[in-house]
Structure formats: C-alpha cells, structure tokens
Amino acid sequence: MVVSGAGVTLWMASQHVISTWANALWALYMPVGLLYLGVLLFYKWRSYAEPLEQGLKISTFRSSVMIDYDTIRGVKVQPLKVAFQDRRSKILPPMMRPLLDKPALFVRVRGDESEVAAVKKGLGGRMFYEDTVILPMHDADSVAWEITSRLPERLGQNQGGGKRRKRRR
C-alpha cells in the first residue's frame, strides 16, 4: 500500500497532474499516513509494564510510574470485563471492547493517600480504579508471576492460614 501510494505520487508529479488541489491532497496522504503509523508504533512500543529490581515500572504513551514492591498489596489476573462491571462501562473506549474477554493484570496498591494519588495522577483515571491498577496485556500470567516472586514475604497469593485446633468430641 505504501509502495503503491508512493508510485502514484511519483506518476502524478511526472505527468504534472499534481497541480490541482484535489491531487495535491493525494501527495499529502502519504506523509500523513506514515506519520500516523509511526505514532501507533511508538504508542505500542512505549506502553508496557516491566518488573524491575526497584519496583514495577508502568509506562504509558506520555508518562512512566515506578511502584515499589512494598506498596503492592496483591496481584491478580482476571478478564478485563471484571473491572467494568459497575458504571465504569461508560468510560470504556470502543477499541477496548474486543479486549474485555482477554486477561488483564490487576495490581492492588496500598499506602497513604498521597502515594496512591501520585500513582493515579501518573497513570490516569482509566487505568486506575480505587486502589487497583488495571493493565490489559498479552502475557499477564507471566508478569503476575514475576511480580509475585518479588513481593516481600507474606504478600503472595494463597498463603493459607494457621492450623486451627480441632473441636473436642
């Protein structure tokens, strides 16, 4: 498609057909399309969650937030539609609707209100709900496993309880 567009633009320039306004718009079509494709690729390259030694780094298109492992309460992998069961379904963008059945990473954050507010400000209201960061991603299970392995003691999933005393009969 890009090659055919460039070919038509070169042909129009060689035939001197590009002098009309409608044909000049065709010549602008190619750079604008390539710019749009570049922005989409940059968005995909820039949006990720990466467990590091210092904490969980969540990067979006415009910002990046580091969440310490001490402030993570728990990590779950659930379908994305769990996050939109209440009235939040109104803020769901149309391009996210196909992702509702796919797994998402739910990271519960604890801490005082200033720390939680800083994380929420860095990520935005769509990715952060109450005290949970919601991240749709391809391989959420492996990221959750990596985060859980780095959490401090007694914060992982399925810790179980202490043994209860049996009732006397």
Residues 90 and 131 in one domain: yes
Query: Are 39 and 92 in the same domain?
Result: no
* Pair 34, 51 in one domain: no
- C-alpha to C-alpha distance for 45 and 53, rounded to whole angstroms: 21
Element (DSSP H or E) covering residue 26: helix 21-46
CA 44/CA 27 separation, integer angstroms: 27
Alpha-carbon dihedral sign for residues 140, 81, 113, 63: positive
Report strand pairing: 72-79 vs 132-136. unpaired
Confidence (pLDDT) at 77: 92
- Tell whether 164 is covered by a domain: no
DSSP-derived 3-state class of residue 139: coil
How confident is the model at residue 17, as a pLDDT?
Answer: 66
The reply to whether 16 and 70 lie within a common domain is no
Q: State if pTM tops 0.85.
A: no
The gap between the terminal CA atoms of the chain, to the nearest Å, is: 80
Specify if 89 maps to a domain.
Answer: yes
Per-residue pLDDT at 49: 86
Q: Do both 56 and 124 map to the same domain?
A: yes
Residue ranges making up the domain that contains 141: 47-150
Residues 41 and 52 in one domain: no
Say if residue 28 is in the same domain as residue 95: no
Considering only CA atoms, give the Rg of the chain. Answer: 24
| Residue position matching structure tokens 């320039």 | 13
Q: Please tell me whether residues 20 and 52 are part of one structural domain.
A: no
Residue 71 maps to a domain: yes
Per-residue pLDDT of the chain (169 residues; tens, 9 = 90+): 667 767 777 777 777 666 676 666 766 777 788 888 888 888 777 778 889 999 999 888 788 889 888 888 889 999 888 877 766 666 677 777 787 888 989 999 888 888 888 888 888 777 787 888 888 888 889 889 999 888 876 544 554 555 556 666 6
Asked if 128 and 110 sit in the same domain, the reply is yes
Task: Say if 91 falls within a structural domain.
Answer: yes
Single-letter residue type at 83: A
Question: How many domains does the chain fold into?
Answer: 2
Q: Is residue 160 part of a domain?
A: no
Asked whether residue 76 falls in the same domain as residue 35, the answer is no
